[in-house]
Structures are given as structure tokens and as C-alpha cells.
Structure 1
Amino acid sequence: MPYWLHILVIVLLIYIAISFALYYLQDYMLFKPEKLPQNFQFNYDNQDFQEHNLITRDGAVINGILFKPKGKPKGIVLYLKGNSKSIKGWGKFAIDFTRHNYNVLMVDYRGFGKSTGRRSQKAIKRDLQKVYNKIKERTTEDHIILYGRSLGSGFAAKLASMNNPKMLILDAPYYSLTKVTARYAPFMPLSILIKYPLPTYKWLKYVQCPIHIIHGTNDTLIPYKTSVKLSQVKPKLTKLHTVIGGGHKNLNTFESYHEMIHDILNQKPTNIDLSTTSINVKHSSKPNKAKT
């Protein structure tokens, strides 16, 4: 066997081995779950909450916590968290919405916290739709806000595309999970290997409610330009909120982030009479000639 062919075979075998590893190990690389015993007792200081369990059609248990505000609820926020830990730790962020008198429901995906069941993109989407349906049994959709954080942004976009919530808020979203992983494995056939493509951009095309995107300019995991690109999918419905200097995991430490949440939750839609603006005024591309 020629030397060059020998090297080519070795490279090909290594490529195939890496492809198999990416396919079978991606659950371990993508999801960083914290598992909790079924008798674990949640505890949150100064927060009123109730624990709930939802049984799916395949027998899995989806565990969640409903946080309640001190005042009369204006609606409910379905908070879809990131890819790590469990709602045990994520629950502390509920206060950012309960302080505005919104109920907050956080659920753990399959294999996280007390939730059980075999995980897949299809199963998670089905679980979250069932959760959404349960919420609709207790309130109307114009009182439901979907909030998706990082990994949860894709699932939130999917839910919004299939339903009619009051609004959709995406926190540090990705264009698609395939695009994110391509940054780290640019030469792999990810369109074939990825079991969780989560094409946020495709689902946003079908969203009919107001869309708010929040992203930090210093996010090194999911670049800020991703949200700029996503904001162009449905520009008339979308508003991009920029946290200057914000990273991927620290937006809650910025005062501007909380100002944005306040404005998003409390703003009232207004119609602008564009006929009274300069919208149709165009800058001349040629300098005016001086009159003689």
C-alpha cells in the first residue's frame, strides 16, 4: 500500500471514530443535568412556591415549581432554563418576574432534577407542549409569557410557533444548535450527527406574538451577532435588547438587564402615526448644486 494511501486510511478511520463519538456522546456534552432524589425538598427564602408533577403519555414525570408573587398575578411566565443543573438552582431567578406580579413556572427537562424519562428533542418538545396545555387550562394565552434562556430559547421559540402566547422572550439565544456546535467541529457532518438541531431561526418564522431578544455583547459561547441575525427573521415583531459588556451567564448581574425586563413586562403597545415622521424622507446621494 502506498504511503499516502496508508495515511489517508488512518485519517479516514479517525474521522469516522470522531463522528461516532460525537453522535453517541452528544447527550453528555450538551446536557449537564443535576439529578435530585424524589424526596428532595425545595427551599427558597422569601418565595411562595408549589411543586408540581406532570405525567407524560410514555410514563415520564416532568417536575416543576410554580413561584407566586405577593400581589395579584398579571399572568404567568413559563421559564425554560439552560442546559445545566436543575430548577433547584435556577429557581432563584424567578424573583425577577414575581417582583412584577407574575407567576413563574420552571420545569426540569427529562433527566434533570426529579424529572424522569428518556431524553430526545421530540420528547422534550412534546413534554413542554403538555405543560403549556396545562397552563391554558388555568388562564388564557394572552396572559402567558414564554421565556427561553440559552438552551431553552430554542424550545421557547418552538412553543411560541405552535401557540399564541402574549410574548416570547429569548435570553442569549442561538441561531440553531447545529450552528453552535459547528464552531467547535467545523469539519464534521453535523447536519447528520446532531440529534438536537433546535433550529430556532426556522421556528421564529411562524411566531405571531411580540418577540424580545436579550443578549450580551461579550458572550463568548453564543456570540451577540447571533441575536442580531435572529432579530432579522421577523423584524416587525422583534426588538433586540443589548446588554453592553454582558457575557453568557452573568446578564442578571447587570442593572440594564433588569431595566429591560421591567420595560418588557410593563410596556403597553402603542401605534405610531408614521405619516408624521421622516420615514419617507431620503438623503440625496448627490450634492446640491449651488444656485447662481
Structure 2
Amino acid sequence: MPYWLYVLMIVILVYLVISVALYYLQEYFLFKPEKLPKDFQFNYENQKFEEYNITTRDNAVINGIWFRANEPKGVVLYLKGNSKSIKGWGKFAVDFTRNGYDVIMVDYRGFGKSTGRRSAKAIKRDLQLVYDKIKKRVAEKYIILYGRSLGSGFAAKLASMNNPRMLILDAPYYSLTKVTARYMPFMPLSILLRYPLPTYKWLKYVECPIHIIHGTHDKLIPFKTSVKLSRIKPKSTRLYPVIDGGHKNLNNFESYHKMLTEIVNSDLEEMDLSNSSINVAHSKKKKRQA
């Protein structure tokens, strides 16, 4: 056997082994769940809340918390990132309750106290179930969808299937396939990835106002990703850059909290620009005469 053929066969074999490993082990890299015992007691200082459980059609249990605001203006369905559980994420509910909004957080399957076999389809179905439960108690015009990192894709999907008041995306990705491709550009991720989560596709069908918040120094999901997403439906989308913000520290910036307060307390209305300078050219070049 020629040496070059032997080397080629080894390369192909290694490539196939990596592909199979990636297919079956991808959840280990995508999800970093924190599991909690059934009798765990949540505790949040200066927050009124109640725990609840929803049983799905395949008998999985989705655990969540409803944070209460005084005289609520509406409710925020907060879809968290890919790590930990609502035990830790719950501390961010105050950013909305202080603005007069109830907050509902849930743990995805396999996180916290939630059970069930995890898949992209199952998670999307679970979140629609939660949304439907909220709709029975609150009109959609008072529901805000907030998706953080991993949750941004699921939030976009929910918004595309429903009619919430607005969609807020915090450090969103164009698609999860694009994010992973930065680290494994040589792999056929469009085939192997079981969680492609194409945010850009779902945003095309979102009819409510879209607000995107992103740190300019985000190393995991570059800021340019949100710039690209904001161009999908530019008339109904507004982009909020957090200068020097990273992927996990936006809450440490005063500008982030100002943006959030502005967003949840106002709607993105279409402006009348007929009397503005929008179509006025800055300058005109004079043609040279021969």
C-alpha cells in the first residue's frame, strides 16, 4: 500500500471518530447543568416568589419560579443561558421586578429540579407549554420574552410562534451552528449538530418589537453577530451596545440597567420621518467640465 494512501486512511478514520464523538458528546460541551435535589429550598433576599412545577405530555417535570412585583405592569418570561440552574439565575429577576414586572424563570430539562430527556424539540415544546400557561393568566400584550445567550434562540423561536409585547435578546447568536463553527471549522456541523438553533431564521417571523443588547467585547459571541441580526428586521429592531461589556458581565455596567429600564417601559414605535433629513444628501460632487 502506498504511504500516501495509508496516511489518507488514517486521517479519514480520525475524522470519522471525531465526528461520531462530537455527535454523541455535544451535550456535554453545550450544556453545563446544575442539578438540585427535589427538596431544595430556593431563597432570594428581598424578593417575593413562588415555586411551581409543570408536567409535560411525556411526563417530564419542568421546574420554575414566579417572581412577584408590586402592582405588576406585565410579566417577563426569562430564558437563561446554558449553565447552572435558576438557583443562581434567579438573582437577575430583580432587574425586572424593580421596573414593575413579574418574572418567570424555568430550568431546561436536566437542569435544577427539571427532569426529562433533553432535545431541541423537547425544550421548544416545553417553553411553548410554559408560554401557554402564562397566556391563560396574562394577555399577550403584557408578556415580554427575554432570552440570554443560549436562551436567546429559544426566545426568538417563541416570539416567532406567538404575539408577545416585545422580544429582548441578550448576547444572542446568529445560530448555534455558527458559534461552534468558530472552534471546529473543519467539521460538518450542519449535519452533526443536534441543536442548530437558527435564531436568524426565526427572527424573520417575529412581528413584535425586537431589542438586542450585546457587549462590544464579547469574546464568545462577537458583537458583530448582533449587528448582523439587527439587519434582519431593521424597522422593528433596535440594537443596544454595552461598551466594553463581555459575555457574562453586562449586569455590572450601569448602561445595561439604563437600557433595560428604557426598553421594558417603552415600545418601539414607527416614527414619521417625512419632515426629517433622512433623504437629504450630505454633499454632492460637482461634475468636471471638459
TM range (shorter): over 0.9
Partner-residue secondary structure (3-state), 1:146: strand
Matched residue, 2:12: 12
The residue type paired with residue 159 of structure 1 is: L
SS in 1 for 2:180: helix
In structure 2, distance between residues paired with 1:125 and 1:149: 15
CA contact (8 A) 2:209 2:267 kept: no
8 A contact 2:236–2:268 mirrored in 1: no
Match of 1:161 in 2: 160
Structure-1 residue corresponding to 2:38:
38
Report the Cα distance in structure 1 between the residues aligned to 2:124 and 2:272, rounded to whole angstroms.
Answer: 40
Deviation at 1:265, TM superposition (A): 1.1
The answer for the alignment partner of 1:188 in structure 2 is 187
The verdict on how the C-alpha distance between 1:13 and 1:242 changes in structure 2, with shifts beyond 3 A counting, is: same
For 1:143 and 1:272, the matched residues in 2 are separated by 22
Hey, what does 2:218 align to over in structure 1?
Answer: 219
Q: Distance in 1 between matches of 2:45 and 2:270?
A: 42
Aligned to 1:251: 250
Hey, what does 2:229 align to over in structure 1?
Answer: 230
Q: Distance in 2 between the 1:43 and 1:217 partners?
A: 33
**Partner secondary structure for residue 214 of structure 2:** strand
Question: Compared with structure 1, are the counterparts of its residues 162 and 270 closer, same or farther at alpha carbon in structure 2 (3 Å cutoff)?
Answer: closer
Structure 1 position 133 matched with structure 2 position 132: yes
TM-score between the two structures when normalised by the length of structure 1: 0.97
Structure 2 residue matching 1:275: 3-state secondary structure: coil
Whether the aligned pair in 1 keeps the contact of 2:168 and 2:211 (CA below 8 Å) is: yes
Instruction: Indicate the SS of the match to 2:173.
Output: coil
Alignment-mate amino acid for residue 168 of structure 1: L
Q: Which residue of 2 aligns with 1:53?
A: 53
TM-superposed CA distance for 1:284, in Å, is 4.1
Compute the displacement of 1:270 (Å). 4.7
The residue identity in structure 2 corresponding to 1:31 is: F
- Contact kept, 8 Å, 2:209 with 2:268, in 1: the verdict is no
Q: In the aligned structure 1, how far is the partner of 2:61 from the partner of 2:79?
A: 17
User: Which residue of structure 2 aligns with residue 172 of structure 1?
Assistant: 171
How many residues align structurally? 289
SS in 1 for 2:178: helix
The CA distance in 2 between the partners of 1:79 and 1:43, in whole Å, is: 18
TM-score (norm 2): 0.97
> Measured at CA, do residues 23 and 271 of structure 1 come closer, stay the same or move farther in structure 2, by a change above 3 Å?
closer
Contact 2:124 2:154 in 1 (8 A): yes
CA distance in 2, matches of 1:174, 1:166: 22
In structure 2, what is the Cα distance between the partners aligned to 1:262 and 1:173? Answer: 19
CA offset digits 1:176-209 (Å, max 9, x no partner): 0000000010010101000000000000000000
Q: Unpaired segments of 5 or more residues in structure 2?
A: none
After superposition, what is the alpha-carbon deviation per residue over 1:39-90, rounded to whole angstroms, capped at 9, x for unaligned? 1000111110000000000000000000011x20000000000000000000
The worse-fitting range, judged by mean Cα deviation, of 13-22 and 269-278 is 269-278
Amino acid at match of 2:179: V
Residue of structure 1 equivalent to 2:109: 110
User: Which residue matches 1:65?
Assistant: 65
1:230-271 CA distance string (max 9 Å, x none): 000110110000000000000000000000001101125555
Counterparts of 1:94 and 1:269, CA distance in 2: 23
Q: Counterpart of 1:46 in 2: which secondary structure? A: coil
CA distance in 2, matches of 1:169, 1:245: 20
The aligned amino acid for 2:272 is D
CA change 1:224–1:271 in 2 (3 A) is: closer
Letter paired with 2:207: Q
Cα offsets for 1:7-39 (capped at 9, x unmatched): 000000000010011100001110000000011
Deviations 1:118-175 (A, max 9, x none): 0000000000000000000001000000000000000000000000000000000000
